[in-house]
Structure 1
Amino acid sequence: MSTNLPKPQKRPARPCFSSGPSAKRPGWQPRALANAVLGRSHRSAAGKQKIREVLSLTRDVLGIPDDYGIAIVPGSDTGAMEMVLWSMLGPRGIDVLSWESFGAEWLNDVIRELRLDDVRSFTAPYGALPALGEADPARDIVFTWNGTTSGVRVPDGGWIADDRTGLTICDATSAAFGMDLPWRKLDVITWSWQKVLGGEGGHGVLVLSPRAVERLESHVPPWPVPKVFRMAGNGRIVPGFFEGDTINTPSLLVIEDAIDGLKWAQSIGGLPELVRRCEANLETVTEWVGRTDWVEFLADDPAIRSCTAICLRIADPAIAALGSDEQAAFVRLMVSALEQEGVAYDVASYREAPPGLRLWSGATVENDDMAAVLPWLDWAFRHAIAGRALS
């Protein structure tokens, strides 16, 4: 199939718009890992020093309160959330807020895997938020701060009570380092380095408030807890859990990469600059969507649009009128053309989300690249329209 459509002259310098692992920080080269402690135990003095360094840098960049503990855990953000759900839930009723695929996973775990009885769910379709204010501060609240697969974020923490008696358990994997998180409103916070910092996968980060630690030390789940989930025993947190003594063996190469990303964050101005870069990317896309008739944000409300995971739907009437499978096939034509041109990789919407496009716009994505890819999306749309006409 040949459409012979004129192509934009400018190409993104880096076509990596994947939502995870996301683009490496600008200027990254393998030599950034030259100081990694390799071939050594993670329990050696050198290994522990590296792990403690990444924990210290994390606290500094994000401004995490001194009385909150930080730990590295297995299994990326998913592992961090799973160990929290399996280890901490049960003493109180639970409110789960869900509006995209990962929130739906946590809801499924609470109801079908842990089989807890006193569970309330507050759900919304992709592109919207449930009524956050209906969550009960006397119950544990489980939610994602930013919906990576829906492009919807919580706008602020005003709905979370300061005098809550339940715990707030927040999956913040695509919000940490890209948005301001109100730490004192949150008791459990999880993320992975593979999002806003462009780090490598496989490791999760878990932050616990003093109230969350108290829950861990006072609550014994009635179900078996796998070893990789065990954060406490005999009424106390595992010794060294917040000092770099990890539950299982971490990759010190991945740790070194995270250290590099955090030092880069410090060098450009810390969290305020990371947030600014994300918001600037969102603003660039917003301006383009405003003058482009075939595309719209999946989230209609600008107040809840994510500045890291930008999700778009095809608004052209002819395509929007198609069934879901046909829309998905149209998007595949666009995505394939973009990849073949080498201008945008991995920009299809998440497999369980409505058919559309998803652009990662986190801090490691340069605004010039975001601006450069948008004319290519226009080209890909016309290319796919022409392809359907020829088929």
Structure 2
Amino acid sequence: MITFYPGPSKVYPQIETYLRDAYQSGILSVNHRSEPFMQMLAGTIKILKSKLAIPEDYEVYFVSSATECWEIIAQSFMISGFHVYNGAFGEKWMEYTRKLRTGVSGRYFDCNELPATDFAKELSANEIICITHNETSNGTVIPDAFFKELRLKTGNLIAVDATSSMAGVALPWTDGDIWYASVQKCFGLPPGMGVMVVSPAAISQAKEMGEAAHYNSFLFIRDNFLKQQTPYTPNSLGIYLLGRVLEQVPSIAEVSEEIKQRAKDLYSFFENVGFAPLIENDAVRSDTVLAIKAEGQRLSTIKSAAKSAGIVLGNGYGSWKENTFRVANFPAITSADVTALTTFFHSATVV
């Protein structure tokens, strides 16, 4: 089966070899305070920062998932928060933050529009701005220019959910302070690990708050990572596989260019065979997750026929569950996979 499900999605085929290598190397059985583990952790962080062009003074941490990052941000960085969202995952993040912090507010914006940045002048200095870079539920993206404008208008910390875009497209790192993602999307890895990228300003705020009451308190995590260790027994396999995958992939500039061009081609293709994108405004269409409109019997027929042809499409999500399907455009997906997809959609039985 060829999977275009937007996470967990296709893993790089080299993972099969890397799994065997991990087993044979013995790294899966070493203590996470031992020298071999410390070298592996440091090496993976170094190549991650290099391949994704992460600023030198930003720090990288590995946790269990992007969802855990919601908790870490609320506990360790936030006094209050302001969430800007247009879809299910941005809204879920806000709802979870409200379970941990009082004074959390939000603003919904239409998925065919950009949010205005006028809210920035209304915020207190303590409010962290929380925004989803790439909304997986509806296939939207926040362009780099928005983050640049927002950064110019406020000194507040900016936390960004980049779960379905990190490692797929170049990110404007310095226009955000806490970026996070999970590895089962653009990283092309099995699920089970999250990546946090944190600015010096965010680290300073965490130090000022001094929160250290939880096993995953940021300062506790950081104290260990500074020693090239982890506070709790980590996903050693995930860290190993991430390092190996990053060795093989091109720089993010090259990957991003390929992903963006392929997204452009796919949107054009779907429109040419009679399928409209959910997002009408191409300025806010995601390059990594395409949401395509199809309703009723047509939607059911498409998904069933695709499965019979050995292709897994993503279901619609949230408000768009019954009128869309989603197509992942992640780096592990090959040109041959895309050819199989387009060949299928040329079939008279689905168009």
TM-score, with structure 1 as normaliser: 0.80
Aligned to 2:327: 359
The Cα shift of 1:120 comes to 3.4
Q: 1:203 aligns with which of 166, 180, 193?
A: 193
Alpha-carbon separation, structure 2, partners of 1:122 and 1:29: 41
Aligned to 2:253: 272
Alpha-carbon separation, structure 2, partners of 1:134 and 1:371: 44
Alpha-carbon separation, structure 1, partners of 2:227 and 2:172: 23
Offset from partner CA, 1:227-276 (integer Å, 9 cap, x none): 2x21226xxx74233453223222222222111211111xxx31112112
Which AA in structure 2 matches 1:57? Answer: I
Aligned to 1:84: 73
Query: SS of the residue aligned with 1:307?
Result: coil
| Same amino acid, percent of matched pairs | 23
Alpha-carbon separation, structure 1, partners of 2:339 and 2:284: 22
Q: Say whether the 8 Å CA contact 1:33–1:256 is kept in structure 2.
A: no
Aligned to 2:183: 193
Aligned to 1:298: 278
The Cα shift of 1:105 comes to 0.8
Aligned to 1:33: 19
Aligned to 2:336: 368
Which AA in structure 2 matches 1:31? Answer: T
Alpha-carbon separation, structure 1, partners of 2:315 and 2:153: 42
Matches within 5 A, 1:1-391: 15-25=2-12, 27-36=13-22, 37-74=27-64, 76-90=65-79, 93-111=80-98, 113-117=99-103, 119-125=104-110, 127-136=111-120, 138=125, 139-156=127-144, 157-162=147-152, 164-220=154-210, 225-227=213-215, 229-232=216-219, 238-265=222-249, 269-293=250-274, 295-314=275-294, 319=295, 327=296, 330-342=298-310, 344-354=311-321, 355-379=323-347, 382-383=349-350
TM-score, with structure 2 as normaliser: 0.89
Offset from partner CA, 1:300-348 (integer Å, 9 cap, x none): 111111111111112xxxx4xxxxxxx3x65233212211221x11422
Query: SS of the residue aligned with 1:202?
Result: coil
The Cα shift of 1:359 comes to 0.6
The Cα shift of 1:362 comes to 1.2
Offset from partner CA, 1:56-106 (integer Å, 9 cap, x none): 1111011111111111112x111123211222111xx53211111110011
Aligned to 1:11: none
How many residues align structurally? 340
Query: SS of the residue aligned with 2:269?
Result: helix
Structure 1 gaps of 5+ residues are 1-13, 320-326, 386-391
Which AA in structure 1 matches 2:330? Answer: G
Q: Say whether the 8 Å CA contact 1:52–1:244 is kept in structure 2.
A: yes
Query: SS of the residue aligned with 1:38?
Result: helix
Offset from partner CA, 1:170-211 (integer Å, 9 cap, x none): 111111112221111111111122111211211111111111
- Point out the structure with max Rg over C-alpha: 1
Alpha-carbon separation, structure 2, partners of 1:207 and 1:367: 30
Alpha-carbon separation, structure 2, partners of 1:196 and 1:99: 21
| Structure (1 or 2) with the greater helix fraction | 2
